[in-house]
């Protein structure tokens, strides 16, 4: 089977909402090459397959917050209904609702992406744990050399933590004074 969709493209469509990694209905519809309303119709016909931990509808505040994170979500360009968010289990369930070959292939690609993300996070945690263990060893003997190594550990840990940086404003500053 050929790589249908680059993993990076799928990763960019996974969001963290309510403490869960989810994908939104309109992104999934694009991947499956169906209209969002048709995807949602298929889901509503099979509603029992999608409990709250598989799929939930975004609140207005969540949707507005997400619109600011994703530059492409402009008012009026998308459905007037609040989108649905699908957890990994909900996306897996979609393959039983959407019975096309495309849906099967897309679901496989998405599942592989979720697995890859879990592996990356696990490796990140393992590295942080090993650094903590080494730091504890070094912390017992506080010579000049050890203090420098402790500083290095702190810097590495700081680099490993992902901090949300405020977005830089783009555009020109307008001077309201008459000239």
pTM of structure: 0.59
If asked whether residues 83 and 145 sit together in one domain, one would say no
Contacts of 60-69 spanning 24+ positions with Cβ under 8 A: 62/17, 62/18, 66/15, 66/17, 66/24, 69/15
* Residues 32 and 86 both lie in one domain: yes
Inside any domain, residue 2: no
CB atoms < 10 A from the CB of 109, how many? 18
Which residues sit opposite 122 in a β-bridge? none
Give the confidence band of 135 by pLDDT, cuts at 50, 70, 90.
low
Let me know whether 67 and 46 are in one domain.
Answer: yes
Residue 176 lies in a domain: no
Share of the chain above pLDDT 90, in %: 6
Do residues 23 and 37 share a domain?
yes
Domain residues for 67?
A: 7-118
Clarify whether residues 60 and 93 are in a common domain: yes
Is the same domain home to 29 and 58?
Answer: yes
The answer to whether residue 16 sits within a structural domain is yes
| 71 and 144 fall within a common domain | no
Domain co-membership, 69 together with 109? yes
Measured between alpha carbons, how far apart are the two ends of the chain, in Å? 66
Report which of 119, 137, 138 is spatially closest to residue 127, judged by C-alpha positions: 119
Mean of pLDDT over the chain = 76
Q: How confident is the model at residue 1 (pLDDT cuts 50, 70, 90)?
A: very low
3-state secondary structure 105-147: HHHHHHHHHHHHHHHHHHHHHHHHHHHHHHHHHHHCCCCHHHH
Looking at residue 67, which CATH number applies to its domain?
A: 3.10.260
Q: How many domains does the chain have?
A: 2
Q: 5-14, 74-83, 137-146, 148-157 — which is least confidently predicted? A: 137-146
Whole-number pLDDT of residue 75: 53
Q: Does a structural domain hold residue 177?
A: no
Q: pLDDT confidence of 144, banded at 50, 70, 90?
A: low
CA–CA dist 144, 87 (Å, integer): 50
Establish if 102 belongs to a structural domain.
Answer: yes
């Amino acid at each position: 089977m050929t790589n249908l969709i680059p993993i990076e493209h799928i990763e960019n469509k996974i969001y963290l909402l309510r403490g869960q990694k989810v994908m939104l209905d309109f992104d999934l519809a694009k991947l499956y090459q169906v209209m969002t309303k048709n995807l949602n119709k298929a889901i509503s016909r099979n509603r029992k397959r999608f409990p709250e931990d598989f799929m939930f509808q975004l609140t207005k505040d969540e949707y507005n917050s997400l619109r600011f994170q994703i530059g492409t979500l402009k008012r009026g360009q998308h459905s007037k209904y609040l989108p649905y968010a699908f957890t990994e289990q909900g996306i897996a369930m979609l393959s039983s609702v959407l019975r096309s070959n495309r849906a099967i292939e897309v679901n496989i690609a998405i599942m592989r992406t979720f697995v890859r993300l879990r592996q990356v996070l696990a490796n990140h945690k393992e590295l942080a744990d090993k650094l903590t263990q080494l730091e504890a060893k070094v912390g017992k003997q506080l010579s000049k050399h050890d203090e420098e190594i402790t500083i290095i550990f702190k810097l590495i840990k700081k680099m490993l933590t992902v901090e949300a940086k405020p977005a830089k404003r783009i555009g020109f500053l307008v001077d309201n004074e008459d000239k």
